[in-house]
């Protein structure tokens, strides 16, 4: 089994973070390893599906289908695919919790390899890159959430003399 987790405090209210993390059509904007969301049923909810195009190696790409299998607003959602090469299952767990004036956002990838020892060796070999990509995805998400929150938050008017 493969499992990597990254967590970060994002200075954005949980409601705004949850809204962004639930927008399946926008995953290519911040998820490393997602080139495109080619189809989406819409915002995450139990049973919602979406399709992605994912880079594999060089010019090779995988087309993956994902289903939201757990949805517990506004704190946790789990998306599952069985389409990634050399895996029989990959779950992406996204969690949001209030922390101070912001949110603790946690992304966890959990998967089972396929093809016996070949898949297990591949998983072990790829784990450092998957961990790096997961952390980068979280950094990308934080940057996007902060920028969007800044745009949507009214600025205080400058005092007049």
More confident site: 118 or 28: 28
Q: For residue 41, tell me if it sits in a domain.
A: yes
**CATH number, position 136:** 3.30.530.20
Q: For residue 102, tell me if it sits in a domain.
A: yes
> Of 133, 73, 125, 83, which Cα lies nearest the Cα of 108?
133
| Phi and psi based region of residue 98 (left: phi greater than 0; alpha: psi -120 to 50; beta: remaining) | beta
Token pair for residue 12? Answer: 């954005």
Return the CA Rg of the chain: 17
Q: For residue 160, tell me if it sits in a domain.
A: no
Domain that holds residue 58: 2-151
> Of 115, 105, 113, which Cα lies nearest the Cα of 144?
105
Task: Please give the tally of structural domains in the chain.
Answer: 1
Most confidently modeled range among 7-16, 86-95, 115-124, 144-153: 7-16
Q: For residue 159, tell me if it sits in a domain.
A: no
Decide: helix, strand or coil at residue 156. Answer: coil
Q: For residue 105, tell me if it sits in a domain.
A: yes
Decide: helix, strand or coil at residue 134. Answer: helix
Instruction: Report the pLDDT averaged over residues 87-106.
Output: 94
Q: What is the pTM of this model?
A: 0.86
* 97 contacts: CB under 8 Å, gap ≥ 6: 14, 75, 103, 104, 106
Give me the count of residues in the chain: 161
The chain-wide mean pLDDT, for the chain, equals 89
pLDDT at 160 over 70: no
Q: For residue 96, tell me if it sits in a domain.
A: yes
pLDDT band with cut points at 50, 70 and 90 for residue 146: very high
Q: For residue 158, tell me if it sits in a domain.
A: no
Matching residue, tokens 């994902």: 66
Token pair for residue 154? Answer: 């009214």
């Amino acid at each position: 089994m493969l499992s990597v987790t990254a967590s970060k405090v994002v200075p954005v209210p949980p409601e705004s973070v949850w809204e962004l993390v639930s927008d399946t059509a926008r995953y290519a904007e911040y998820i490393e390893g997602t080139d495109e969301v080619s189809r989406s049923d819409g915002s995450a909810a139990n049973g919602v599906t979406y399709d992605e195009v994912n880079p594999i190696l060089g010019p090779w790409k995988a087309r993956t289908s994902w289903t939201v299998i757990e949805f517990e607003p506004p704190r946790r959602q789990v998306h599952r695919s069985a389409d990634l090469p050399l895996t029989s299952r990959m779950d992406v767990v996204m969690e949001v919790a209030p922390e101070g004036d912001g949110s603790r956002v946690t992304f966890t990838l959990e998967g089972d390899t396929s093809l016996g020892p070949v898949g297990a060796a591949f998983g072990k070999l790829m784990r450092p890159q998957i961990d790096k990509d997961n952390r980068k995805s979280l950094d990308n998400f934080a940057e996007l959430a902060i920028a969007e929150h800044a745009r949507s938050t009214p600025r205080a008017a400058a005092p007049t003399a």
